[in-house]
Chains A and B, each alone.
Chain A
Amino acid sequence: MGRIWLAISSFFLILFRGALPDDALAPLGLVRRAAPKAQTTTAAPTAARVSDGALQILSILQRDSRLVDFIMEDVTGYSDEQVGAAVRGLHDQARESLSRYVKLDPVIDGVEGTFTKPVVSDPAAVKFIGNVPAGKPSGGLLRHKGWRAGKIDLPALNPKQDAAIIAPAEIEIE
């Protein structure tokens, strides 16, 4: 194979197919690496249940900010001041904790209250409200930017641990 032909054909093969065919590898002195094995779902010794990730998030928010304690408490009897005092610290920590494990982005990165044309038409991602016409609307006022989980970075679950435990009971020895 001539050098010029090899150079030109490699260029176009990479451009259009994204890879070199096997017969073009040898003259370049290249060896194809074994493709990474597709992730097997049976890797975990005990199969993780679908809900485990959700429980993990709850457990993290409880651990770092005691969010579950707050939601489960009956706050009707307390003054706004008392609730506010408790919530301020909780809010800081819950926010810090959530943003560490889940990167939250808006679905539409615009200014709420301005005219917006959505690019996606998935009803799960963009919901039209108000006087929605019969056909597909082209745009409207952005009322809520929506939230999308960007990167999720949760620590691996311990297979030996019961994911249903959101917070351990605490026993103090005096």
Chain B
Amino acid sequence: MKYVIGIDLGTTNSALAYTEFKPNADRFDKPDVRLMEIPQLVNPGEVRDESLLPSSLYIPGASDFPAGSLALPWNPEPEFVTGRLAQKRGVENAGRLVVSAKSWLSHSGVDRTAPILPWTAPEGVRKVSPVDASAEYLKHLRQAWDAKMPDAPFTEQQVLVTVPASFDAVARELTLEAAQRAGFCDVALLEEPQAAFYAWIERHQDWRERVKLGDLILVVDIGGGTTDFTLIAVTEQAGELALERMAVGEHILLGGDNMDLALARMVADQLAQKGTRIDSFQLHALWQNCRIAKEKLLAPGAKSKEQPVTILGKGTGLVGGTIKAAVTRDDVDRVLGEGFFPRVTSSDLPQRQRRFGLQEIGLPYAADAAVTKHLARFLRQQASSTEHERVRRGASGLAAPTHVLFNGGVLHARLIRDRLIEVLNAWLGEEGFSPVQPLAGEDLMHAVSRGAAYYGLALQGKGVRIRGGVPRTYYVGIESAMPAVPGIPAPLKALTVAPFGMEEGTAVTIPGREFGLIVGEPAEFRFFSSTVRKNDAPGALIEDLGDDLQELSPIEVNLTSADGTGTVPVSFETVVTETGVLQLWCVARDGRRWKLEFNVRERVAQ
């Protein structure tokens, strides 16, 4: 039996879906995509199946758990705790808990292969790298699969791991490295908003009747920790409707957890005004209770206008120490509606991150909490690309989607979906377009893993495939040859090495430029990317770097050559592998090749 396994490696939760690969199945047959329940420790000594694996890793110390209580069906003494128990115990002892490893994986300000997590661990606690933590979650999923499906070893199945569309080449490669470290064999990457759209196609086999040529679908994916936007155009290929991913947004660290925390802080402020102060442990309990209260207030058909939230007394005195507060529907509307989803115009862009001289190192959370402003910027950014006329645009250049697909737990709330549609429609109205049509998604928590499993079938030619390629343009920085001026660095130019939309399984040689590399010494290049500049051809030189280019980790190559020392003239070649990973090579005139590696060990100078 051969399966395709889709893994949603999420910031806060991970999930696994699978489908049987039938070589002779009719391509119009509805595939049977199933979710796998993931056995995990939920309490010390208690393993239970749950549909999600919380992406939490706990590094147990000697006094944390009774001996033998961490045994898993496949490992009597695991080194780390992953999943529900890690999440629970982490509330009580945050110094040993690793969370949001995925956000760290995409953070170029730190060395992502160095043991840096838990970020706030006290002295003496063993630390792991963001790659290690991701590998632990993937390893847990692999072992869970092998325990559940003994007749179909995990390593013999085809596996798809999803990444945010906004992940750059470095974060993608690190995700793949984590998968390899977790013992994965046949693995490829897939972008999450695309996976969500595949899940919609899987549910609607008649999708060709629901969209038409020229339609533009906006995928809004708001998870626990991140927000991700993608535009997919309905195009035509060989007389049939086809799908093409046109644009992806930048990485925004803003999600449902921020919203629940905002509610908790509001309640804490109300309590403080009445003279009740709560500590950080109680704030955490309040955070969870506010999430539950929010979900109850926003549930379909909810009638109550107010939900009590209580923080039980800490000691054995439960009733006496109980702190009582309430979250009202008005509070939720105000905090979410005005704080996170305000009605803004399409030219209302988010505040840029302010740079302080001394900045605390940590995750680069979005400076502006308004999701609608981030959406405005995303749609506005599409104005500068002229080549992709398949993107429907208004008079002002604003990309104008015809449909919208929601994904992520936050968008369970009708309030938020309605507000996003209302804001989008206002923008579209100004540009003279009719309102967007929401595509009915279901199962917002599991769509990504389901879609990934479906995509595995598409790869085998058993379903429709979204064409996309690399969602960014990549550049290598080159110092201008100019007379040196003391104190002023030579101006930097950017050479285009990978054009936007370069497809998987293709290679391109950068014409017209050679570099002299010294044998035996590492050469380092600065490396940039842009989600906005889409028309730069390979070899094009950008004189003014501007705001459109983001600097990534530097890339380096160390030429070793049998014939001693000297300078070797090389040109660049770019390869996008079938697994979706970008590789840069230096190619000498005689055909010798050296791969350029990302240097994630050094901090990028800002």
- Chain A interface (Cβ within 8 Å of chain B)? 63, 66, 69-70, 72-73, 75, 78, 82-83, 85-90, 155-158, 160-161, 172
Please, could you name 20 A-B residue pairs with CB atoms under 8 Å apart, sorted by A? A66-B318, A72-B316, A75-B319, A82-B319, A82-B320, A82-B322, A83-B319, A85-B310, A86-B310, A86-B319, A86-B322, A87-B319, A89-B312, A155-B46, A155-B47, A156-B45, A157-B45, A158-B68, A158-B69, A160-B66
**Complex contact B67–A160 (CB within 8 A):** yes
Complex CA–CA separation, A87 to B310 (angstroms): 10
Complex CA–CA separation, A34 to B381 (angstroms): 72
Q: How far is the CB of B437 from chain A (nearest CB, A)?
A: 38
**Complex contact B317–A85 (CB within 8 A):** no
Q: How far is the CB of B215 from chain A (nearest CB, A)?
A: 44
Q: How far is the CB of A141 from chain B (nearest CB, A)?
A: 35
Which of B44, B45, B68, B316 is close to A73, meaning CB atoms less than 8 Å apart? B316
Given contacts A85-B308, A86-B312, A155-B45, contact A69 B324 (CB under 8 A): no
**Complex contact B69–A161 (CB within 8 A):** yes
For residue A158, which residues in chain B have a CB less than 8 angstroms away from its CB?
A: 44-45, 66, 68-69
**Complex contact A85–B324 (CB within 8 A):** yes
Q: Which residue of B lies closest to A174 (CB)?
A: B279
For residue B319, which residues in chain A have a CB less than 8 angstroms away from its CB?
A: 70, 73, 75, 78, 82-83, 86-87
For residue B67, which residues in chain A have a CB less than 8 angstroms away from its CB?
A: 160
Q: How far is the CB of A76 from chain B (nearest CB, A)?
A: 10
Which of A63, A73, A88, A161 is close to B318, meaning CB atoms less than 8 Å apart? A73
Top-6 shortest CB links A-B: A155-B46, A69-B318, A85-B324, A86-B322, A86-B319, A158-B45
**Complex contact B322–A85 (CB within 8 A):** yes
Q: Mark B41-67, 1 if CB is under 8 A from A, else 0.
A: 001111100000000000000000011
For residue A73, which residues in chain B have a CB less than 8 angstroms away from its CB?
A: 316-320
Q: How far is the CB of B141 from chain A (nearest CB, A)?
A: 22
- Chain B residues numbered 312-331 whose CB sits less than 8 Å from any CB in chain A: 312-313, 316-320, 322, 324
Q: How large is the interface on B (under 10, 10 to 19, 20 to 34, 35 or more residues)?
A: 20 to 34
Q: How far is the CB of A88 from chain B (nearest CB, A)?
A: 6
> How many pairs of A and B residues are in contact by the CB < 8 Å rule?
58
Q: Mark B547-575, 1 if CB is under 8 A from A, else 0.
A: 00000000000000000000000000000
Q: How far is the CB of A107 from chain B (nearest CB, A)?
A: 28
Interface SS of B by simple majority: loop
Complex CA–CA separation, A157 to B47 (angstroms): 12
Complex CA–CA separation, A66 to B314 (angstroms): 11
Complex CA–CA separation, A66 to B313 (angstroms): 10
For residue B44, which residues in chain A have a CB less than 8 angstroms away from its CB?
A: 158
Q: Which of A66, A69, A78, A157 has the most CB of B within 10 A?
A: A69
Sample of 11 more A-B contacts, CB < 8 Å, known A72-B316, A86-B319: A73-B317, A85-B324, A86-B318, A89-B289, A90-B318, A155-B45, A158-B45, A160-B66, A160-B67, A161-B45, A172-B281
**Complex contact A88–B308 (CB within 8 A):** yes
For residue A82, which residues in chain B have a CB less than 8 angstroms away from its CB?
A: 319-320, 322, 324
For residue B308, which residues in chain A have a CB less than 8 angstroms away from its CB?
A: 85, 88
**Complex contact B316–A69 (CB within 8 A):** yes
Complex CA–CA separation, A73 to B46 (angstroms): 29
Q: How far is the CB of B77 from chain A (nearest CB, A)?
A: 13
**Complex contact B66–A89 (CB within 8 A):** no
For residue A90, which residues in chain B have a CB less than 8 angstroms away from its CB?
A: 312, 318
Q: Which residue of B lies closest to A155 (CB)?
A: B46
For residue A85, which residues in chain B have a CB less than 8 angstroms away from its CB?
A: 308, 310, 322, 324
For residue B68, which residues in chain A have a CB less than 8 angstroms away from its CB?
A: 158, 160
**Complex contact B310–A88 (CB within 8 A):** yes
Q: Which residue of B lies closest to A156 (CB)?
A: B45
For residue A70, which residues in chain B have a CB less than 8 angstroms away from its CB?
A: 318-319
Complex CA–CA separation, A67 to B360 (angstroms): 43
Complex CA–CA separation, A7 to B320 (angstroms): 75
For residue B318, which residues in chain A have a CB less than 8 angstroms away from its CB?
A: 66, 69-70, 73, 86, 90
For residue A69, which residues in chain B have a CB less than 8 angstroms away from its CB?
A: 316-318
Complex CA–CA separation, A157 to B45 (angstroms): 8
Complex CA–CA separation, A161 to B43 (angstroms): 14
Q: How far is the CB of A145 from chain B (nearest CB, A)?
A: 29
Q: Which residue of A lies closest to B317 (CB)?
A: A73
Given contacts A73-B319, A78-B319, contact A89 B43 (CB under 8 A): no
Q: How far is the CB of B60 from chain A (nearest CB, A)?
A: 15
**Complex contact B69–A78 (CB within 8 A):** no
Complex CA–CA separation, A101 to B69 (angstroms): 18
**Complex contact A161–B312 (CB within 8 A):** no
